[in-house]
C-alpha cells in the first residue's frame, strides 16, 4: 500500500447543477437552497463539516445560483467556518469539481460533500474511519434494496473497497455509494490521468478506481442512519419528515389561548398561532408567519417565513415562504415555492379552479 | 485530464479555465469583488493546453 501524509482536513462542498428535477422551484434559485425544516439544505452540510472539525471549506459553484449561495453563506463567519468559492462553470463531473479544488486543498485530505444531500449521522464517523488507517480515499456506503440502480462497492472483510461497479446486472453487494467521500491529495494525480466518460464527464468513481489500481487502500464506511439526495420534490418532502422527526424543536412564538397545539412544534419567536387554529407536530413555522383561525397544520409540515395560512388544512408539506394560503380545502404532500399563493375560488362564477402556473409545475386537482 | 484554475488576486475566488475562456474578460464572480479576471491571467502553457484541448472542457 502507498502511504499518505496527513496534515489537516478540508471540506469541498459541491453546489453546482441545474436542479432540473426540482423545477419550477429551481427556476429562481439553486436546489441547494431549498429549505428542509425551514433551513437550506446546504446549511446542513456546512454544519456536518464543522461538527467533524472541518472549518476550511471550498464551495464549488456551477452556472446557477452563484450569487444566492454566496449571499447566504458569505465568508462563512456566521457558521464559524472559512469559505473559499470555487467556480467550476461547466458541469464536467464530480472529479472535475474536485480537481478545481486542488489549489484550495493543497497537501491536505478533504471531505467531498454533495450540497444537495442530507444525512442523519453527519460525516464524523466517515472521517474517523478514513483516519483510522492509511487510506487514499474513503467512501460512504449505504445498503439499498435495488443495487442494480446504483454505483456499488465490493468490500473485503476489513472494510477496504476492492471494486467499484456502476449499475451492475449482478451486484456483488447491496452497498451503494451515496455521494460522501474523503480523499487524500493523491486523488488529484488520479484525476489528471482520467479521460472523460461517455457522457463527457470526469467520473469520481473512475478516480477512485484509479487510486485502487495505484495501490491505495480505499476505506468504506456504511452509513446506518437515513440519507437523502434532495434532488426531487418527493425527496424534499421525505427529508423534511426525517429532519422534523429528529430535530430538537423550540416553541418560542405566540400561541394564543384558544389555539390548539399538540406535539413537537418549532415556532419562531415572531410567528403566531392564532385563536381557533390547530397545529399538530412535528411542524416548523418560521419568522413572521401567522396561522389563522380555522387553519389546520398537520404533521411533517414546514411553513417558511412571512406567510399567512387562513382556513386551510395542510399536512406533510413544505411552504418555502412569502405565501398566502387561504383556500378552505386540504393540501397534502405538497411543495409550494417562494411567493406562491393559494386562494379560494368558492365565490367565483363560473365554478372552477383558476390557475396561473409556471413552466414545469405539477398539479394534482 | 488537466484541470486549470486561476485564483482572484483580490478575493481568492478560484475560477476554472473553461469559465475564464468562455468569458475571456470578466468581473470576478466573488460576490462584491470588483476585480477583473482574464483568460490571459493564466500562464502561457496553461492557455495553450486549454485551447488545444478546448472540446474536452465543453459539456
Q: What is the CATH number of the domain that holds A277?
A: 2.160.10.10
Q: Does position A4 have pLDDT exceeding 70, yes or no?
A: no
| Domain identity same for A113 and A42 | yes
Q: What residue numbers bound the domain in which A182 lies?
A: 9-244
Question: Of A196, A214, A244, which marks where a domain is finished?
Answer: A244
| Domain identity same for A300 and A233 | no
| Domain identity same for A155 and A184 | yes
Q: Quote the number of domains for chain A.
A: 2
| Domain identity same for A113 and A211 | yes
Contact by Cβ (8 Å): A254, A51:
no
**Quick one: pLDDT band at residue A2, thresholds 50, 70, 90?**
very low
| Domain identity same for A149 and A285 | no
Q: Shortest CA distance to B29 belongs to which of A63, A176, A130? A: A63
Q: List all residues 6 or more positions away from A350 whose beta carbon is below 8 Å from its beta carbon.
A: none
**Quick one: pLDDT band at residue A5, thresholds 50, 70, 90?**
very low
Which triple of cell numbers denotes residue A57?
471549506
Contact by Cβ (8 Å): A340, A361:
no
Distance from the Cα of residue A156 to its chain's centroid: 30
| Domain identity same for A182 and A317 | no
Give A161-213 pLDDT, tens digit per residue: 999 988 889 999 999 998 899 999 999 999 999 988 888 888 899 999 999 99
Q: Does position A1 have pLDDT exceeding 50, yes or no?
A: no
Q: How would you write A296-347 as a 3-class SS string?
A: EECCCEEEEECCEECCCEEECCEEEECCEECCCCEEECCEECCCCCECCCCC
| Domain identity same for A176 and A305 | no
User: Would you say residue A310 lies in a domain?
Assistant: yes
Q: Does position A3 have pLDDT exceeding 70, yes or no?
A: no
User: Would you say residue A344 lies in a domain?
Assistant: no
Q: Do B56 and A101 touch (CB under 8 A)?
A: no
Report the pLDDT value the prediction gives residue A153, as an integer from 0 to 100.
93
Question: Of A226, A244, A262, which marks where a domain is finished?
Answer: A244
Q: Does position A7 have pLDDT exceeding 70, yes or no?
A: no
User: Would you say residue A362 lies in a domain?
Assistant: no
- Please give the full DSSP string across A25-47, using - where no structure is assigned: GGGSS-GGGSEETTEEHHHHHHH
| Domain identity same for A254 and A228 | no
Kind of pairing between the strands at A175-183 and A109-114: antiparallel
**Quick one: pLDDT band at residue A6, thresholds 50, 70, 90?**
very low
| Domain identity same for A91 and A180 | yes
Mean pLDDT of all residues belonging to chain A:
91
Phi, psi of B53 (to 5 degrees): -120, 25
Q: Shortest CA distance to B18 belongs to which of A137, A89, A106, A319? A: A89
Give A45-87 pLDDT, tens digit per residue: 999 999 999 999 999 999 888 999 999 999 999 999 999 999 9
| Domain identity same for A38 and A81 | yes
pTM over 0.95: no
In chain B, helix, strand, coil percent, each to 5? 40, 20, 40
Q: Do A89 and B1 touch (CB under 8 A)?
A: no
Interface of A with B in 44-73 (CB under 8 A): 58, 61, 66-67, 70-71
3-state secondary structure of A220: strand
Interface of B with A in 1-59 (CB under 8 A): 1-3, 5, 7, 12-16, 18-19, 22, 29-31, 56-59
Q: Give the least confident one: A227-241, A325-339, B45-59.
A: B45-59
Which triple of cell numbers denotes residue A63?
452556472
Report the pLDDT value the prediction gives residue A244, as an integer from 0 to 100.
96
Nearest-Cα distance to chain A for B14, in Å, is 5
| Domain identity same for A45 and A125 | yes
Q: Does position A128 have pLDDT exceeding 60, yes or no?
A: yes
| CATH number of the domain residue A41 falls in | 3.90.550.10
Q: How would you write B46-57 as a 3-class SS string?
A: HHHHHHHCHHHH
Q: Is A276 exposed, middle or buried (0-12, 13-18, 19+ CB in 10 A)?
A: middle
Instruction: Compute the half-sphere exposure of residue A196: CA atoms within 13 Å on the CB side of its CA.
Output: 17
Give A314-347 pLDDT, tens digit per residue: 999 999 999 999 988 899 999 999 998 888 888 8
Give A138-147 pLDDT, tens digit per residue: 999 999 999 9
Helices assigned H by DSSP within A80-185: 94-100, 102-105, 124-131
Question: Of A188, A217, A244, which marks where a domain is finished?
Answer: A244
Amino acid at each position: 500500500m502507498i502511504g499518505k501524509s496527513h496534515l489537516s482536513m478540508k471540506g469541498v462542498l459541491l453546489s453546482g447543477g441545474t436542479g432540473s428535477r426540482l423545477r419550477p422551484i429551481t427556476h429562481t434559485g439553486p436546489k441547494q437552497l431549498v429549505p428542509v425544516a425551514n433551513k437550506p439544505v446546504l446549511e446542513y452540510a456546512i454544519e456536518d463539516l464543522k461538527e467533524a472539525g472541518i472549518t476550511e471549506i471550498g464551495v464549488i459553484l456551477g452556472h446557477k445560483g452563484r450569487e444566492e449561495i454566496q449571499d447566504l453563506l458569505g465568508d462563512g463567519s456566521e457558521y464559524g467556518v472559512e469559505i473559499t468559492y470555487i467556480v467550476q462553470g461547466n458541469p464536467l463531473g464530480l472529479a472535475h469539481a474536485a480537481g478545481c479544488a486542488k489549489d484550495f486543498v493543497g497537501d491536505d485530505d478533504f471531505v467531498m460533500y454533495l450540497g444537495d444531500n442530507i444525512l442523519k449521522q453527519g460525516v464524523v464517523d466517515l472521517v474517523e474511519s478514513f483516519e483510522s488507517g492509511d487510506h487514499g480515499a474513503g467512501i460512504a456506503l449505504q445498503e439499498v434494496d435495488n443495487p442494480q440502480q446504483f454505483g456499488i462497492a465490493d468490500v473485503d472483510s476489513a472494510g477496504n473497497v476492492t471494486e467499484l461497479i456502476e449499475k451492475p446486472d449482478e451486484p456483488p453487494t447491496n452497498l451503494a455509494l451515496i455521494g460522501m467521500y474523503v480523499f487524500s491529495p493523491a486523488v488529484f494525480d488520479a484525476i489528471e490521468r482520467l479521460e472523460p466518460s461517455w457522457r463527457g464527464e470526469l467520473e469520481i468513481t473512475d478516480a477512485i478506481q484509479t487510486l485502487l489500481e495505484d495501490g491505495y487502500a480505499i476505506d468504506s464506511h456504511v452509513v446506518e442512519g437515513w440519507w437523502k439526495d434532495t434532488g426531487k420534490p418527493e425527496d424534499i418532502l421525505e427529508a423534511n419528515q426525517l429532519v422534523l422527526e429528529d430535530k430538537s424543536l423550540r416553541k418560542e412564538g405566540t400561541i394564543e389561548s384558544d389555539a390548539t397545539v399538540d406535539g413537537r412544534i418549532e415556532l419562531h419567536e415572531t410567528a403566531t398561532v392564532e385563536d381557533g387554529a390547530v397545529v399538530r407536530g412535528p411542524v416548523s413555522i418560521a419568522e413572521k408567519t401567522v396561522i389563522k383561525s380555522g387553519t389546520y397544520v398537520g404533521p411533517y409540515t414546514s411553513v417558511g417565513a412571512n406567510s399567512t395560512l387562513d382556513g386551510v388544512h395542510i399536512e406533510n408539506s413544505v411552504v418555502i415562504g412569502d405565501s398566502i394560503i387561504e383556500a378552505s380545502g386540504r393540501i397534502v404532500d405538497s411543495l409550494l415555492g417562494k411567493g406562491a399563493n393559494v386562494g379560494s375560488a368558492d365565490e367565483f362564477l363560473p365554478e372552477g379552479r383558476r390557475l396561473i402556473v409556471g413552466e414545469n409545475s405539477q398539479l394534482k386537482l | 485530464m488537466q484541470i486549470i484554475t486561476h485564483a482572484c488576486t483580490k478575493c481568492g475566488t478560484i475560477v476554472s479555465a473553461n469559465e475564464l475562456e468562455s468569458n475571456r474578460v470578466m468581473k470576478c464572480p466573488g460576490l462584491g469583488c470588483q476585480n477583473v479576471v482574464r483568460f490571459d491571467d493564466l500562464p502561457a502553457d496553461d492557455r495553450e493546453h486549454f485551447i488545444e484541448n478546448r472540446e474536452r472542457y465543453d459539456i
